[in-house]
Amino acid sequence: MEKQFAVIGLGNFGFYLAAALFQKGHEVLGIDISPRQVQEIRDKVSRAVIADATDPQALRELELEKMDAVVISIGSVLNSSILATLNVKDMGVKRVVAKAVSEAHGRILQKIGADEIYFPEKDIALTAAQRLDNPNVLDYLPFMEGYSIAQLAPPREFIGKNLIELNLINRFGIQVIAIKELVPENVVMIPTGRFVVKDSDVLVLLGPDKALARLKE
């Protein structure tokens, strides 16, 4: 279902986010005070405009309140980020997502009404650390405090065994919630215990962080 998004601030994070949303079939409005940034993204979004997000009148003319969500991707200038967030909240935007560059910045954005806060540098660093620590972990997603969903390339000793034999739930407290078969491409949701693991499979696991760490060992 097509949605309408606006991305304010077209630096690296805002640029790639706006372009990716547009590629997924959504209507995307890119907004930046820099003519150069607007020119660079013009062919990658539905519409791109030059506007100062700290100016309420400039934003009102764009009718952002009609958007499904507005992303504030101004990170380097905190005052501009804060003012832009205030302005779009005052306009009645239903969902305001803001990028933060620090915990303090994030707390301020939350207090002034941002519905969701992203810490892209922190998230990338955590993912990179996870992959460097264990190259078998192909992807990592925080699930809830103390738990994670991780995609794992099966260790050699898993190959040729079924899930009953591996007994991950009793040995580690880890549940196999899905298996991505690469040859041929297929996703098995909530596989049965009879599923035999192949070297081309990717296991999608849910469990406590400590247990996932034990499993990789």
pLDDT of residue 191: 93
| pLDDT tens track for 97-121 | 999 988 899 999 999 999 999 888 8
| pLDDT tens track for 153-168 | 899 999 999 999 999 9
| C-alpha dist (Å) from residue 19 to 67, 71, 94, 124, 185 | 17, 13, 22, 19, 27
CATH for 4-121 (1.10.1280.10, 3.40.50.1000, 3.10.20.30, 3.40.50.720): 3.40.50.720
- Residue whose token pair is 């620590």: 133
Domain boundaries of the chain, sorted by first residue: 4-121, 130-216
pLDDT of residue 136: 61
| pLDDT tens track for 166-197 | 999 999 999 999 999 887 888 899 999 999 99
Question: Quick one: 183 exposed, middle or buried, by C-beta within 10 A (0-12, 13-18, 19+)?
Answer: exposed
- Distance in angstroms (rounded) separating the CA atoms of residues 104 and 82: 12
pLDDT at 135 exceeding the cut of 80: no
Joined together, the tokens standing for residue 111 give 């207090």
Q: What fold, for 130-216?
A: Alpha-Beta Plaits (3.30.70)
Confidence of residue 137 (pLDDT cuts 50, 70, 90): low
| pLDDT tens track for 193-212 | 999 999 999 999 998 888 88
- Distance in angstroms (rounded) separating the CA atoms of residues 116 and 96: 7
| pLDDT tens track for 33-68 | 999 999 999 999 999 999 999 999 999 999 999 999
Domain pair 4-121 / 130-216, same fold? no
pLDDT at 144 exceeding the cut of 70: no
pLDDT > 70 in the chain, percent: 92
